[in-house]
Structure 1
């Protein structure tokens, strides 16, 4: 699995490559959290390609389970990429994305530039 550590506006960021194992359950999230903690990361970026489609179907509870794990470990989870087809198909997901993007634990973003802008405004930057 390709991953990169970098610093963006004072935050240590673990960027997971799109070529790694697909995350389809809470166990996959725990593996990412372990990697992040081992590298002292504060932010974990997961490309949308790495997430099983079940993540975007809220009835599966996969998204909730994964998001809760990251929140428990006080890591910012960033889902990076285009999720428009999923959001178009589900008003519940659209609401979750909107709510999450208002908070400090999980962000759904389309680009690294957008992440940089958000982190620049976050306390501690």
Structure 2
């Protein structure tokens, strides 16, 4: 896993680049949060859709809710880059829509959108 840092003023965003699954459970999400926070001093993370377990996108597993609650508790923001319309789940689409209306979690189609959202430039 490679982590690049994007800085804009006082804002730093960690861009996670990995061809592999990065988050498969809550423990892995916390490990990533700790690594990004301690090593890189960031509290904003960009991941690719492929870096998240498919269970994340199956809301009934509770994985997405558990992870986003932990990230909220620790003040971490997250943007996921991917194509989400292929899931065909109304509840997931509603979840993504609601996340995108806030300022903590974003589901976007490209990395530049993710960076801008996390830096607060929307």
Bin of the TM-score, shorter chain as denominator length: 0.7 to 0.9
1:109 aligns to 2:111 (yes or no):
no
| Helix, strand or coil at the partner of 1:30 | helix
How many Å separate the matches in 2 of 1:114 and 1:22? 21
SS at match of 1:121: coil
Deviations 1:62-99 (A, max 9, x none): 1101111111111111111212212xx20000000000
Q: Structure 2 stretches of 5 or more lacking a match? A: none
Structure 1 segments of 4+ aligned residues over 6 angstroms from their partners:
none
Distance 1:67 1:34 in 2: 15
Determine the C-alpha separation between the residues in 2 that align with 1:42 and 1:24: 20
Q: How many residues are aligned here?
A: 120
Q: Supply the distance in 2 between the matched residues of 1:28 and 1:66 (Cα, whole angstroms).
A: 10
Q: Describe how 1:44-63 pairs up with structure 2 within 5 A.
A: 44-63=45-64
Contact 2:45 2:77 (8 Å CA) reproduced? yes
CA contact (8 A) 2:99 2:105 kept: yes
Superposed displacement of residue 34, structure 1? 0.3
Aligned Cα root-mean-square deviation (Å): 1.7
TM-score (norm 1): 0.86
